[in-house]
Structures are given as structure tokens and as C-alpha cells.
A and B are shown apart, each in its own frame.
Chain A
Amino acid sequence: MIRQWYEPLIFSEWMRRAFSFLNIAVFMLTATVVFSEFRFDWFETLVGGYLESTNDSRPETGAIWEAGKQTANAQEYLNQIINKREDTRQIAHQAASFIDLSSSLLPGEWVTLEKQQFKTLYMALEKSMAVKIMDPVQLVWLLNGSTLDRIFCEGSLEGIKVYFIDSENRVIQQVDLKKEDLVEIENGEKPLAGKLVDMDGFQGRIYSPQNFFNALFELPGDIIPDLIANPKALLRQEGKITGVGIWNEAKNGYIKLGFEFEQAGVKQIVFVKGREWAVWQLSLNIRRNKD
């Protein structure tokens, strides 16, 4: 049944309608809700409880979680540095030669070497080559007579830098090892294409192989190993020796010897080093044989 709404015509009708049961109930309910909220904060409690129930499914965002992430980032970064250093340390400690050591250290990377390891690497070199890195007497002083605490190797663009450091982190001695020098130290100088006569420094001191070896074999047996300390380079080279030259200068107690090889018409010179005093003995023999 549809009842047509009409506007009350008299005051009492207005009042009756205004204070109807429904209106009073709605008003009371609204007032109760509002006042109970102000009194008991049930809305806050309700929302708070709801949010608490959803806590685990929500993202870890905001300043405090960011701080946690920054901590994690920092730890990761630091671990990366440590792990990389540990890898480098292991590779460096397995190095069998200075070349190995050099190739294990990128520019800026460093590793601390045990005294024993440095000694082992050093002693693995031929005497004539080792002296290029450091005089053996100086190494004895550094390892046994100085205030040395650690040996610190740092990679550089050119090769490696070796710092001998005391307990206060002061550098007692620094040795810079260039890559090309290391290759030369390990393998000897590369054979050079050309003839001895075309090279400065050998002028007037070039001999036939026969003269050279005759004079050499006249030397006492214990001198010969000092004359050609590292014959590997000569043994590696193929061809026939056509001449031997003696350099006109001594360096670090050694004199350079040049062996001219010929193979298939191509001439190459292989350089080795001989102890200064042994070479002088040899020169005397050559001169005497000539006379």
C-alpha cells in the first residue's frame, strides 16, 4: 500500500512526527555511537586490531626498515670486499712465481705475503734474475735483521708493488716490479732479431763460437756454472750459434753475453748473464788464445 506523503499542516502534527519513535531511536543510536567513541575509542581499537591482524602480510617499508636494508647493503658490500680479498689472498698464496703473483692482483688490490712465501718465490729464481728484484744480502737483512713485520703486495697498472713494512705500518723498503721485467726475470730476455755486429756495446768483443767455447772449457769446472747461470734460454733456442759477444758494461755484478743463432738464414740474438769475475776470466782466456 502506497501512502502519499504530505506536509504537516499543524504544529502538533510537526511535533508528533519530529519525536516519533523512529527519529528518537536514530538520534539515540547516533549519539550513543558518537559518545561511546569519544569515551571508549572503540573505532581506534577496532582499526588497530584489524591492522594488527594484517601486519604479517604488509611490506617492510619506511624509515626503520630502510635502515635495516641499508645495514644489509652495508654488510653485503663489506662481505664483497672481504671475500674478494680472501680470494685474492688464496690465489696469491698459491702463486708459484712473481708472474703468478702479479697476475692475481688487479690494480688497487692487495695481499699480505708471509715472509716464507716471499723467500720461496725469490729463491725459485736464478741468481742472476733474483738480483734484479733485490740483492740477496739486502733480503737477508730485511727478513732477519730489520724491524720487518709484514710484506704487503699491491697490484698496479704496471705490475706489483712490494712493501716491506714494520709493525707501525711504515715502509722499510719498496720494490716496484713491472710486468715486462717479471716476464724477463722468469723467462730471460726475448731473443732479438738481428746480428751482433749491429749492436752497440758488443763492438770489438764478438768471438767465433769455437774461440768462445774453447776458452770457456779451459776455465776451472766450478767457474763454468757461474759464467752462464741460466742456460735454459740458450737450450730453448733452435739453430746454430754463429757468434758470441761480451757486453762492455757490468751491472749488479753481472755482464751480459749475446749468443747469435742462425736458423734458415734468419739471425737472432739470445742474451744471458754471466758473473762479472767469471766473464773476466773467460775474456783473459780468449785473449791468451788469440795471442
Chain B
Amino acid sequence: MNFFFRSMKMVRFCLFLSLFLVSLGSLTGMFLVFYVTKDLPKLPSPLSRIIETPQTQIFAANGQVLITLGERKPIHLNRVSKAFINAIIATEDHRFFEHHGLNKLRILKGLYVTFFHSGKVQGASTITQQLAKNLFFSFEKTYDRKFKELLVALQIEASNTKQEILQAYINQIHFGAGAQGIEKAARVFFGKSALDLNLAEATLLAGLPKSPTRYNPYRHYDRALKRREVVLKRMAQVGFISDLEVRQTLLTRPELYHEQSDSRTGSYFLDVLIKELIQKYGEDVVYHGGIKVSATLDTRLQAYARQSMVTGLERLDAMMGITKEQTDHPQGALVAIDTGSGAVKAMVGGRDYYTSEFNRAIKSRRQPGSGFKPFLYYAAFKDLGFHPATILTDKPVRIPVRGAADWKPQNFEKRFSGDMVLKKALTYSVNTIAAQLVEKTGPDAVIRIANACGIRSPLQAVYSVALGTSSVTPFEMASAYSVFATLGVMHDPFFFWRVEDAFGRIIFEHIVQEKRVLDASTTYQVVDMMKSVIERGSGQSIRQQGFSRPAAGKTGTTDAYNDAWFTGFTPTLCTSVWTGFDTQKKMVDSNRVGITGGNIAAPIWGDFMMNALNADPERDFPIPDTIRFEMVDTTTGCQLSGENERQDGLVVALKKEQRVCKDGEQ
């Protein structure tokens, strides 16, 4: 009996204690509600005000909208596929239509898991709470924030219908890839409206808000499918679909929409443009100012650039024997600049933006190899009085370097061809002759010319700088070669022509200014030599492709075959192409033969330029009045006449005062 009495005493004590605690809890709760209320954010009325931020629009050069920043395409619930609504409700809050903002059972379960299973945290937020959090609070995890979010959710429920809440929710959730709201997401990921989403697509989208980056289907398609499986099973548990539908849907792999993937927030060009706008005007203006920006990007050229790069890199994969399943693929970059203004017309910063946002066109500094030789030849012509018919000897060279081992550059073919004119030396990219030239000009002269043409990356004042051992970006190469295309006139490269406010008032206009940085006649001589690179030298694969317009350029391949370049231009468009691995890794084909700029970068360049210029009239480079042409023997540099003209001769561009020896005069 004593045990019974003691138990009853304990029960009584517990009862009174519980009553006391409940009373205390209630009082504390009431106090907190009143106390916290004054700091709670005011709710906009109606909730649809959440989409009233003015949108910043960026237009392409042809007027097409490239991107709308802060864009939300709010739609009514009846314009959303039923499958998506069911999927999001099943996944996020299946009792949404039953509760008044809180799911108490889920909260209790969440508290239990959080307190009694160390290391685990169970989420218990309803759709209304998530809406409250997204609208008003940061993502900081504190009890204070959670409590306020809970109170706001209660108010949202009290002042809006369930339909209004659900509509606001699906119109503001983030799906990644710059898509906010279901309509935008449906258009970005599947190229269709939210109403047309089928079960497979709707469930894939419904899985994304949990972690838009982790489940981004462009980057982690299989991971996104796994998440979709969770959504489908949840829908079946809740009773929205049958197990058969789950099994059938799991077999389908929704096709992602790739058509405009380069013209969305993510594209490499837009990243650079937006960064520049932010530097100029600040984030508030760019994201909330409703400005209209006229970009330089030409969507037609951009599409060609992307296509040429994709095709070229697939070809490179095939040459190297790399299969799709392998993870380490070579990358590429392409920049195209309008030579007459400096406007950047197209930019590809990598193989696929959605697998790597790193913009190799702007940020990746790589050794340009022989792509630097035009700066050297210009310096030699200008400073030493050399010309394209000057003779030097292709032979083993050893150049003493103060405080270091002698520099002994090698030719790519590892053989020597004896005497030759400089035009032939550049055409066939003879390193030993370039080394002799830089020994005479000094590396500073080469750096001076490169800097004048717009190379801003640090260049080391060593002899090998002439052979491209200092790293530069494809953007710099395209910009610098543009100076050759205009025969010495520099235009600063730029990304946007005009910025207007929401009322069409002009905030900024780009003025195209010309700066003569190189002498026109000397530049023409170098350009004429670079034309020969495409006609008969290391870039002749371009002619074999069928690109017949007047063009000039130079290949570049680094010693270890880590980088393969081709930068070239017509009088109107200058394009630089780089290919290589992100890490220092050799590019060799299946026979272990190194892949050069002429093998891979030049065909990408040719493919792009053929498409880019197909609608433009053909133009040749203007010839300065001071230039005349002579046919010379490539080994003696002497003028050829009569029958000799058909033999080993090259037409060289000479200034009026420059003389070559007559045939037999040597």
C-alpha cells in the first residue's frame, strides 16, 4: 500500500508541476508574442507585391533580350500544371490545406529528432513558413529567427487564402540557373510553360528548391533524377499518384532545354558584363534599378561560336580517345571582337557553362606560344630596320643569359632549314630565327609592343617572352591582334554600348575612340606575313576547310602541348581560340603525337569565322601607299624575275625605301 501511496503522491506532484509549467509556458509564449510583435516585419498587401521590383534588361546588339535580371514571371495557379502543384505540396508540406501555418505534429517530431538524435536536425517548415522566411528573413539559423518566421506565417495564413499563399510561394521559389518562380523555371529547364509540364518534368522541378545548386540538372543530372525519385515516392505515399505511375515516370529522363543556355544569367559573356556594370553602378542599380543595357554581343555570332567550340572539342576528345564517361575533358575558349570598334561580339569561356562557370576567355592565363611572334617581328622591323625579305639562318642557337643557363630554343620539328627570309620564318613558325631576333631587339621591345596592343598580363622580361612563355588570356590576344587587323589602330575592347534608365534616359554611352599605337606600313608587313600563315603555313587547315576570305593569323602551341591556340582576323573581325586542359596536362592524340594549335584551334576558328562572316561582303586589308610588293627567293631574299617567279618564291610587302638584292646579286 505504501508503494501505491507514494506513487499517487508522485503523480500528483507531476500533475501540479505540469500545470504550472503549461501555465508558465503559456504566459511566456503570450509575453514573447507581444514582445516580438513590435519587431516583426510588416506584411505587404496584397502578397503579390513581392514581384514589383523593376527588372533590368540586357539586350543583344540586334535588340534581342539576352537576360532580365530580377525577372519573375508570376502566374495564376490555374496556369500551373496540376502535377507540379501536387509534387511541391507532397514534397514540402502535404498537410498544407489542413493547417493554419504550422504543422504541430511535424514540429514535435522535429523537436524530438533535434534534441534526442545528436547531429540530426529535422526540418518542420510548412510552405507558409518557407514563404515567410523567403520574403522576410535571412537564412541564418537562430531560434529568434525561427520564432519570428513562425509568427509571420501565422499572419500570412490569417490574411490570405490558401490559394493566394500557394500562388505566392510557387512564384518566388528559386530553382537555380537564374530561374525564380515556376513559370521561369519551366521555360529555362524545359522550354515550355508551367501549364505544359508533365509528371516527369514537374517532379524534377519540384525537387530542386531543396538545393538548387546541388540538384542543378545541367550539372548533376543523375543527382537531380535521384531527388526526383524521392518526390515521386512522396507523391505516392500521400496518394497523389499510384505506384505504377511512379515506376513509369522513373523510366523517363526529361530532356533539358539547351537552346538558350548561353543567353541566360549564366553565360560567360553576361557574367563579365554584369560584373562590369556592378563595378560601375553598384548592385542596387544593376539588380533593382530597372536599367536597360545594350550589350555588344551578337546572338548569331554567339550561337556560331558556341557550336564551333562544342564541335571542335568533341573532335579533340575523339583525337585524344577521351570518352563521354571520362570526367577530365579538355576545355576551350573563344573571343570574337569587332576590329572597327572593339565591341566584343561573342565569347565562349568553356566547354559548358553549366558544368564549369570558370570563364577561361577572361580569367585563364595561358602561355600563347608562337602566338606572340607577331609582336616580336613588328619590334624587329621597327627597331632594327628588318623587313620580310631580310635573311636569317635557321640553325641551332645558344643565347647566353646573364646569371642563368644559356637559352637553347628548339624548332617544333627538331630540324633546321638554313637561310630563309623572315616571312618564311613566321609562316612556318621557326623558333631559332625568332630567338635570334629577340636577342637583337631585346625582350623589352617585344613587351613594349605587346603592351601597346593591349596585353595587360604581366610579361617577364626574358628572351623566351618572344616565344610566348608569359601567360595571357584569349581576350587579351583577340584584343591585341585587333590592332594588327586595323593596321595599328587600337580600340579598347568593351561589352556594352549604352545604359538607359527605366524611362529611356541615357546614363552611359560608349564612344569608340581610336588610338594609333603601331605604324601602319610596318603593321601591314606583319599582317601580310600572317596571311601567309593561313595560306601555306601552320594555319593552312583553315583554307582546307573552305574559308577563302582574306585573313591573317598565327598558331600557338606550347612546348609540352599543354596549350593550343589560333588567333586570327579578317579586316572586320578578330577571333582568338584556345584549347587545353585546366590543369597543366599534355594534349596528345591516340598515337601519342602532340596536338598543335594548327590541328585543333585553327579548325575551330575557321568553322566559326566561316559562319560568322557568311553574310558580310568580302574585304581585303587596305594597302598603305608606302607599300610595294616584290617576289623574292625564300633562301636568298633576292628579287625573282622571269621564270624564277614560279619557283621557291614568296611575295613580300616592302616599304618604298626598302630594297632587296636583284637576282644573282647576292
Contact = CB atoms under 8 A, between A and B. Distances in A.
A280 interface: no
Given A7-B5, A169-B512, A171-B512, A74 B285 contact: yes
Nearest to A48: B158
Contact of A165 (B42, B52, B511): B511
A51 B230 CA distance: 37
B285 A60 contact: no
Given A48-B159, A51-B154, A51-B158, A71 B289 contact: yes
A73 B40 contact: no
Given A11-B1, A71-B54, A48 B100 contact: yes
Interface stretch (B135-143, B238-246, B417-425, B637-645): B135-143
Interface stretch (A38-46, A216-224, A227-235, A281-289): A38-46
Contacts of A152: 511
B513 A67 contact: no
Contact of A64 (B22, B50, B151): B50
B41 A58 contact: yes
B1 to A, nearest CB: 7
Given A41-B99, A62-B135, A77 B289 contact: yes
A71 B157 CA distance: 28
B505 interface: yes
Contact of B289 (A38, A49, A75, A165): A75
B289 to A, nearest CB: 3
A174 B511 CA distance: 11
Contacts of A170: 340-341, 512
A55 interface: yes
Contacts of A65: 41-42, 44, 136
A153 to B, nearest CB: 11
The A interface, classified by DSSP as helix, strand, loop or mixed, is helix
Contacts of A58: 37-42
Contacts of A141: none
A133 B333 CA distance: 46
Nearest to B47: A64
B158 A74 contact: no
A77 B138 CA distance: 26
Nearest to A56: B42
Nearest to A79: B501
Interface in B1-42: 1, 4-5, 8, 19, 22, 33, 37-42
Interface size class on chain B is: 35 or more
A107 to B, nearest CB: 16
Nearest to B43: A55
B383 interface: no
Nearest to B510: A169
Contacts of A71: 53-54, 284, 288-290
Contacts, number: 148
A81 B507 contact: yes
Interface in A119-170: 152, 163, 165, 168-170
Nearest to A14: B8
Contact of B41 (A11, A48, A61): A61
B285 A174 contact: no
A154 to B, nearest CB: 8
A48 B291 contact: no
A174 B52 CA distance: 44
A74 B154 contact: no
Contacts of B497: 169
B656 interface: no
A74 B135 contact: no
Contacts of B104: 38
A63 B135 contact: yes
B42 A55 contact: yes
A50 interface: yes
A238 B600 CA distance: 80
Contacts of A64: 41, 44, 49-50, 135-136
A56 B40 CA distance: 11
A108 B511 CA distance: 13
A281 B312 CA distance: 75
A63 B154 contact: no
A64 B135 CA distance: 5
B511 A62 contact: no
Interface in B153-202: 154-159
B284 A70 contact: yes
A246 to B, nearest CB: 37
B57 to A, nearest CB: 14
B155 A73 contact: no
B101 A44 contact: yes
B287 interface: yes
A158 to B, nearest CB: 16
Interface in A158-193: 163, 165, 168-171, 174
A58 B152 CA distance: 12
A145 to B, nearest CB: 20
B2 to A, nearest CB: 12
Contacts of A11: 1, 4
A59 B155 contact: no
A70 B287 contact: yes
A55 B37 CA distance: 9
B285 A49 contact: no
Contact of B151 (A47, A57, A73, A82): A47
B41 A60 contact: yes
Nearest to B287: A70
A52 interface: yes
A78 interface: yes
Chain A CB within 10 Å — which of B19, B101, B154, B505 has the most?
B154
B100 A45 contact: yes
Given A51-B155, A58-B41, A78 B507 contact: yes
A48 B157 contact: yes
B321 to A, nearest CB: 48
B514 A48 contact: no
Given A44-B154, A55-B42, A74 B289 contact: yes
A165 to B, nearest CB: 6
B362 interface: no
Contacts of A73: 284, 288
B101 A48 contact: yes
Interface string B482-520: 000000000000000100010001010111111000000
Chain B CB within 10 Å — which of A60, A78, A168 has the most?
A78
30 contacts: A14-B4, A30-B22, A44-B101, A47-B151, A48-B156, A48-B157, A51-B40, A51-B158, A55-B159, A58-B40, A60-B41, A60-B42, A62-B41, A63-B134, A64-B49, A70-B283, A70-B284, A70-B288, A73-B284, A77-B281, A77-B284, A77-B289, A78-B291, A78-B507, A82-B501, A152-B511, A169-B341, A169-B512, A171-B512, A171-B514
Given A51-B40, A51-B155, A152-B511, 9 more contacts: A14-B4, A44-B102, A61-B39, A62-B41, A64-B136, A71-B54, A73-B288, A77-B285, A168-B341
